[in-house]
Amino acid sequence: MLFNSLSFLVFLPPALLVFWLLPSRLRLGYMLGLSLVFYASFGALNLAYLGAVALVVIVTVQYLASPERLHRRAAMLAGVGTILTFMFLLRYYDPLVEGTGLPTHGLTAPAGFSFYAFMAIALLIDRYRSRARAHIAVETTYLAWFPKILAGPIQRVDDFSREIRKRQKPKALFLAIGAQLFLWGLVKKVVVADNLAPFVDRTYAIPDYAVPLELLIATYFFAFQIYCDFSGYTDMARGSSMMFGLKLPENFRRPYFAGSIGEFWGRRWHITLSDWFRDYVYRPFTGERRPLHRMYIGIMLVFVLSGIWHAGLGYGIGWGFLIWGALNGLYLCIERVFRTPRKALSARLGTGFWAALYRIMAAVLVFHLVLITWIFFRAGDLGDGLTVLSRICSALPEVPALIGRYPFTAEHGFLAALILGLVLVEIVFEHKDWARAFFRAPRALRWTAWLACLFALILLGRWQGENFVYMQF
């Protein structure tokens, strides 16, 4: 029951109607039941995996209320260790022992497993730190809540609890904002990402034989495919949840406008995962004082672990994901080394024309640095990634001449137009005054924009039920 499927569009309206008709005291149980039905639509066995993680959480939180710090610490470590063991067995064990003669179990992680496993780990650590009273129904629903179970955002349990306690009354505003957010996410997924995917897939399927210029174009297209695929999912998740009166955290904030790698990862791309690694890996490793050498080691540790996490599934198990993570970590370390001169330059430029030009040039540089890492991410396999990168680099001096001779087709023009349209919309919403002007514009203008989105879905959308890329992780 993917968000971009007819079955979900049939499932959502009656689910919303029943929710808002129910008394507030019954809504939590209804949310849990609704989430289990949704997750079971991807296979009834998925409920067993979710149930196993939830059981570990339920048992562990009972011991986290102990007055003995050592008992609580042991319980937390046991709970987190058990969940990490589940993740290792389901995502890494079989590929690692394949060919060694050791027995394999043939099991794979279900859709969304890593995301609710990460949320479970965050829950246990937060409960250990705060010694807050456990509420099994809230915590189980927090793990299972259907809009975010497949690919996040990775919400914190205290934030979810606060949303639950609001006991909202039906408001047209919730439905309107949620529906608009869902609609925009659907456009990004079905119109942009899913139209870009076939071109990218067939080009990356033959890295040794594809024309270098075609590989370069496919790499640019993939950058926007994965962004629209993942951020489109997040918009639909947040929109669905908003229609139930619950806010989910923002996960994307126009990342390709980032002026630095730190801004890209810290405040614009997959924000909740970055926050998770910061709070549960980086800060515990570096400590409160964060000495310089531990800071750099901590940055590399976070990004290498992120690469290993992606390597468990996706387009295949390969070292390409590890290179993707290590490159991003290296970028950030180098950026930290030059942080002082960069700040001084920014302060000297002020806020005029040269400052704006510097910002644009920085965004273009950051985008292309990230683009290099996307090659290894999309290729998955290290050898294919190196092949794509080397063939593109060898052809770069000849690109102007190749562009003049290349037989561009209507497909190239159509896909480029989709990306241009997306970028123009992103520019509007990146500029706060322009964004406010849109939301304050006459109702007719705003409705025209949303109707244009509907027509785009009908005329340009690919409705073959394409999976979301990050469901695989």
Choosing from 113, 145, 168, the residue where a domain stops is: 168
Q: How confident is the model at residue 79 (pLDDT cuts 50, 70, 90)?
A: very high
The tally of CA atoms less than 13 A away on the side-chain side of residue 344 is 4
d(CA 469, CA 8): 18
Whether 245 and 99 map to the same domain: the answer is no
What is the percent of the chain where pLDDT is above 70?
97
Q: Which of left, alpha, beta for 43 (phi over 0: left; psi -120 to 50: alpha)?
A: left
In a domain, 362, yes or no: yes
User: Which residue from 117, 196, 473, 113 is spatially nearest to 314, judged by alpha carbons?
Assistant: 473
| Mean pLDDT for the stretch of residues 238-261 | 93
- DSSP string of 272-306, one letter each residue: HHHHHHIIIIIHHHHTTT--HHHHHHHHHHHHHHH
* Lowest-confidence pick of 138-142, 166-170, 278-282, 308-312: 166-170
pLDDT of residue 420: 96
pLDDT of residue 317: 56
Is 395 in contact with 216 (CB distance < 8 Å)? yes
In a domain, 1, yes or no: no
- Greater model confidence, 346 or 160: 160
Whether 264 and 380 map to the same domain: the answer is yes
Whether 372 and 231 map to the same domain: the answer is yes
One-letter identity of residue 276: W
In a domain, 29, yes or no: yes
d(CA 177, CA 206): 43
Tokens describing residue 49: 């995996």
Whether 13 and 98 map to the same domain: the answer is yes
| Mean pLDDT for the stretch of residues 238-264 | 93
Contacts of 44 (CB under 8 A, 6+ apart): none
Contacts of 69 (CB under 8 A, 6+ apart): none
Tokens describing residue 88: 């290792």
* Lowest-confidence pick of 54-68, 196-210, 236-250, 427-441: 427-441
Whether 283 and 380 map to the same domain: the answer is yes
pLDDT of residue 463: 82
pLDDT in tens, 316-331: 456 888 999 999 999 9
Is 321 in contact with 92 (CB distance < 8 Å)? no
- Measured CA to CA in angstroms, residue 167 lies from 13, 23, 24, 171 at distances of 20, 9, 6, 12
pLDDT, averaged across the chain: 89
Choosing from 168, 185, 218, the residue where a domain stops is: 168
pLDDT of residue 217: 95
| Mean pLDDT for the stretch of residues 57-65 | 89
| Mean pLDDT for the stretch of residues 32-60 | 94
Whether 355 and 431 map to the same domain: the answer is yes
Q: How confident is the model at residue 133 (pLDDT cuts 50, 70, 90)?
A: confident
Is 174 in contact with 242 (CB distance < 8 Å)? yes
Whether 319 and 437 map to the same domain: the answer is yes
Q: How confident is the model at residue 313 (pLDDT cuts 50, 70, 90)?
A: low
Choosing from 108, 137, 168, the residue where a domain stops is: 168
d(CA 240, CA 285): 36
pLDDT in tens, 417-459: 999 999 999 998 888 777 677 777 787 888 888 888 889 998 9
- Measured CA to CA in angstroms, residue 313 lies from 13, 89, 92, 358, 394 at distances of 33, 13, 9, 38, 31
Q: How confident is the model at residue 60 (pLDDT cuts 50, 70, 90)?
A: very high
d(CA 235, CA 179): 10
- Greater model confidence, 215 or 403: 215
Indicate the pTM of the whole model: 0.92
Is 45 in contact with 114 (CB distance < 8 Å)? no
| Mean pLDDT for the stretch of residues 327-348 | 90
- Number of helical H runs and strand E runs in the chain: 23, 0
Give me the phi and psi of 132, to 5 degrees please.
Answer: -70, 150
- Greater model confidence, 172 or 234: 234
| Mean pLDDT for the stretch of residues 195-207 | 93
Whether 311 and 459 map to the same domain: the answer is yes
- Greater model confidence, 163 or 374: 374
| Mean pLDDT for the stretch of residues 84-95 | 86
Whether 147 and 231 map to the same domain: the answer is no
pLDDT of residue 314: 38
> How far does CA 416 lie from the centroid of its chain?
23
In a domain, 459, yes or no: yes
| Mean pLDDT for the stretch of residues 121-131 | 89
User: Which residue from 73, 52, 162 is spatially nearest to 116, judged by alpha carbons?
Assistant: 52
Is 1 in contact with 42 (CB distance < 8 Å)? yes
d(CA 234, CA 331): 26
Q: What is the DSSP letter of 408?
A: -
Is 167 in contact with 81 (CB distance < 8 Å)? no
Q: For residue 400, say if its preceding peptide bond is cis, omega within 30 degrees of 0.
A: no
- Greater model confidence, 460 or 350: 460
pLDDT of residue 312: 63
pLDDT in tens, 21-31: 998 889 999 99
Q: Which of left, alpha, beta for 375 (phi over 0: left; psi -120 to 50: alpha)?
A: alpha
pLDDT of residue 316: 41
Whether 317 and 406 map to the same domain: the answer is yes
Q: Number of structural domains, the chain?
A: 2
Whether 155 and 178 map to the same domain: the answer is no
| Mean pLDDT for the stretch of residues 47-60 | 94
pLDDT in tens, 273-303: 999 999 999 999 887 777 888 899 999 999 9
pLDDT in tens, 343-389: 888 888 877 888 888 899 999 999 999 999 999 999 878 888 999 99
d(CA 422, CA 431): 14
pLDDT in tens, 7-22: 998 999 999 999 999 9
Q: How confident is the model at residue 315 (pLDDT cuts 50, 70, 90)?
A: very low
Is 54 in contact with 116 (CB distance < 8 Å)? no
Please give the residue range of the domain that contains residue 378: 174-472
Tokens describing residue 97: 């022992």
One-letter identity of residue 280: Y
Whether 164 and 180 map to the same domain: the answer is no
Q: Residue with structure tokens 């390969």?
A: 318
